[in-house]
Amino acid sequence: MTDQTRPWTAFYGPSVRKTIDAPEFRTIGDFISATAATYGDLPAFTTCLPNGMNGTLSYAQADEMSDALAVYLREIAGLATGDRVAIQVPNCLAYPIAAMAVFKAGCILVNVNPLYTPEEMAKQFADAEPAAIVVVDMFADKLVEAMQGHPIPNVIVTRVAEYLPAMPRGIVGLVQKYWDKTIKPITLPHIRLPDAVKAGRAKHAQTHNALESYRQTIEPDDVACLQYTGGTTGVSKGAMLTHSNILMNMEQTMELIEQFEKGKEVALTALPLYHVFAFTVNFLGMYSQGAHNILIPNPRPLSNLKRAFENYKITWMSGVNTLFNGLNGEIWFQDTPPKHLKFASAGGMALQGVVAERWETVTGKPVLEGYGLTESSPVLTFNPYGKTRLNSIGVPVPSTELKCVDEDGVDVPQGEPGELIARGPQIMKGYWNKPEETAKTIQNGWLLTGDIGVIDEDGYFRVVDRKKDMILVSGFNVYPNEIEDIIAAHPGVEEVAVIGVPDGASGEAVKAFIVKRDDTLTKDAVRAYCKEHLTGYKVPKAVEFRDELPKSNVGKILRKDLRAQEQAKVENA
């Protein structure tokens, strides 16, 4: 690749490598151990509960405990290289210990959403066939039903307050068991995480060079993680992310961000670690910086974040548009915005211009938008600090190619919309057990993202919308993101989602779903506002007010759920 084919490299800082030939470490386990040796007694992870109760592990402690758990998995549970280990745990100290142990053991991590229903869990278990699972006690009762057709031989149970000091840990346990009644009896054979770590520690003391022997069986191109995604076709699939994929993407992203000071950053992780962005950037990326990572088990309601902002000098955080929008509206956040924040990072869904502007007004610091997919480990682009462009996903990270193509795969003219396709060392190996789906998504070495984008003359990219979300009104292409950005700027609007609905006259019509900020807002006022800013065929034909919009567990508004609801109305009419 030359600078002529990568014009965006002109916006890299002077110390940013344009190309990264190979990651610094062979495997994630090697990276974890070497980094822990560097930062030793510095705080690595803190669980911060809504009431301020907390517990912390240093780099050295997390490293030693994950060593012990890795030995437990291999020597006591009997797992082998390449066996899958599911982790179904919210953000708490148990997550990094378990995840790091899986990598050190030479096994494959399978992230499972803790809020999944037994049916959803069963589907993922049937595909991944895990040999072990680390599960939080609050949801362990779902395992009985989820494992009926797909038994998991080794069950390790943890809790949100694991490794907090004894008193707060006991208080949380009593509240969950007797007050909230969120902890139900666990009828499956299982071992508690501290007991597994203790057993592994004892075995490790008797086993010569066990961890080193596990490492010798792993290659950089081996699968490290099965990250499940709906992908571009809607069918849940396990993206095979290799050690090299994840380490490269971590380095690519950290390389482009020049503002971090090693050993001095304090990161707020409100996005769940089982989500690929938080996993690669918040967990591993900030670990590589020697950062102190503040883990939030549940960011809803947003007041759950208040004590974390009060008690820790947060210098960086990541989130999705709805998180930033929500914090913008919190009185306590407006009154005492984080004083030490350098910037925030956004991804997962389009960052609306009005949300970014409000955030900078409240905090005095920018929120920088990036872009990626599970299949790309995930980061493909990021806005360079100080060179941010509103409504832009920024420029490709080092060693990454991105372009816009038409339906035939031919490059579209600069400035014209086309499907974004990407190539680079962070692109997945393929989908687990799904070669046909892999062939649809990766063609000639390029990942087909399913997103419509535009590249400007100097290499900045903008996502217009998801290909499948595009609305066809009387032959015209209408992109929901554009309409949502306009409506979101109305002072009476809290949240908005736009979809296409069947319309006999025009094929499809634009419909907007709105959560009000101002109770006096009317449908006519919304349409009149849109007519001032949009051409006629883009103006919503229908407006519906809702108390809330359907969201994923990371806070991404789910247009597909709204479309399904509208389709059900048509079928039942």
Domain final residue, candidates 402, 434, 466: 466
Is 51 contained in some domain? no
Contact 487, 544 (CB under 8 A): no
Residues 442 and 484 in one domain: no
Output the pLDDT for position 161. Answer: 93
Half-sphere exposure of 525 (CA within 13 A, CB side): 12
Grade residue 230 by pLDDT with cuts at 50, 70 and 90.
Answer: low
Output the pLDDT for position 199. Answer: 98
Provide the residue type at 178 as one letter.
Answer: Y
Query: Pick from 82, 378, 96: which is nearest to 219 by CA?
Result: 82
Rounded Cα–Cα distance for residues 276 and 488 (Å): 27
Angle, alpha carbons 461-282-72 (nearest 5°): 135
Residues 457 and 501 in one domain: no
Provide the residue type at 118 as one letter.
Answer: P
Cα dihedral 453, 534, 366, 296 sign: negative
To the nearest whole percent, how much of the chain has pLDDT over 70? 97
Above 90 in pLDDT, residue 572?
A: no
Rounded Cα–Cα distance for residues 512 and 527 (Å): 10
Domain final residue, candidates 466, 485, 512: 466
Residues 462 and 480 in one domain: no
Contact 53, 164 (CB under 8 A): yes
pLDDT, tens digit (0-9, with 9 covering 90-100), for 398-442: 999 999 999 999 999 999 999 999 999 999 999 999 999 999 999
Is 330 contained in some domain? yes
Is 47 contained in some domain? no
Grade residue 346 by pLDDT with cuts at 50, 70 and 90.
Answer: very high
Is 231 contained in some domain? no
Residues 505 and 451 in one domain: no
In this structure, the number of other CB atoms found within 10 A of the CB of residue 301 comes to 11
In this structure, the number of other CB atoms found within 10 A of the CB of residue 119 comes to 10
Residue 533 is encoded by which pair of tokens?
């800013």
pLDDT, tens digit (0-9, with 9 covering 90-100), for 5-41: 789 999 999 999 999 999 999 999 999 999 999 999 9
Residue 175 is encoded by which pair of tokens?
């509240």
Output the pLDDT for position 233. Answer: 44
Query: Pick from 501, 545, 505, 538: which is nearest to 523 by CA?
Result: 545
Q: Which domain holds residue 192?
A: 57-218
Residues 73 and 127 in one domain: yes
Contact 100, 159 (CB under 8 A): no
Output the pLDDT for position 545. Answer: 97
Residues contacting 114, CB < 8 A, separation 6+: 88, 89, 90, 135, 136, 138, 139, 272, 274
Is 227 contained in some domain? no
Grade residue 232 by pLDDT with cuts at 50, 70 and 90.
Answer: very low
Output the pLDDT for position 283. Answer: 98
DSSP 519: T
Above 80 in pLDDT, residue 181?
A: no
Above 50 in pLDDT, residue 316?
A: yes
Rounded Cα–Cα distance for residues 240 and 244 (Å): 11
Output the pLDDT for position 231. Answer: 43
Output the pLDDT for position 348. Answer: 80
Is 268 contained in some domain? yes
Residues 213 and 285 in one domain: no
Q: How many domains does the chain have?
A: 3
- DSSP state letters, 320-338: -HHHHHHHHT-HHHHHS--
Is 48 contained in some domain? no
Residues 451 and 375 in one domain: yes
Residues 189 and 280 in one domain: no
Output the pLDDT for position 177. Answer: 67
Above 90 in pLDDT, residue 1?
A: no
Grade residue 4 by pLDDT with cuts at 50, 70 and 90.
Answer: low
Output the pLDDT for position 527. Answer: 95
Is 225 contained in some domain? no
Query: Pick from 278, 351, 279: which is nearest to 556 by CA?
Result: 351
Average pLDDT taken over every residue of the chain: 92
Residues 178 and 90 in one domain: yes
Residues 433 and 515 in one domain: no
Rounded Cα–Cα distance for residues 86 and 192 (Å): 15
Domain final residue, candidates 447, 466, 485: 466
Largest CA distance in the chain: 76
Output the pLDDT for position 31. Answer: 98
Residue 62 is encoded by which pair of tokens?
């997390």
Question: Averaged over 288-303, what is the pLDDT?
Answer: 96
Residues 263 and 398 in one domain: yes
| Helix, strand, or coil (residue 389) | coil
Residues 172 and 286 in one domain: no
Query: Pick from 287, 336, 345, 387: which is nearest to 10 by CA?
Result: 387
Rounded Cα–Cα distance for residues 282 and 273 (Å): 8
Please state whether the predicted TM-score (pTM) of the whole model is above 0.85: yes
Q: Which residue blocks in 345-427 are alpha helix, DSSP H?
A: 353-363
Give me the residue label for tokens 């007797």.
178
Residues contacting 213, CB < 8 A, separation 6+: none
pLDDT, tens digit (0-9, with 9 covering 90-100), for 543-562: 999 999 999 888 889 998 99
Give the CATH number for residue 126.
3.40.50.980
Give the CATH number for residue 488.
3.30.300.30
Least reliable range by pLDDT among 224-238, 270-284, 391-405: 224-238
Give the CATH number for residue 324.
3.40.50.12780
Above 80 in pLDDT, residue 3?
A: no
Output the pLDDT for position 178. Answer: 61
| Helix, strand, or coil (residue 305) | helix
DSSP 177: I
pLDDT, tens digit (0-9, with 9 covering 90-100), for 114-128: 988 898 899 899 999
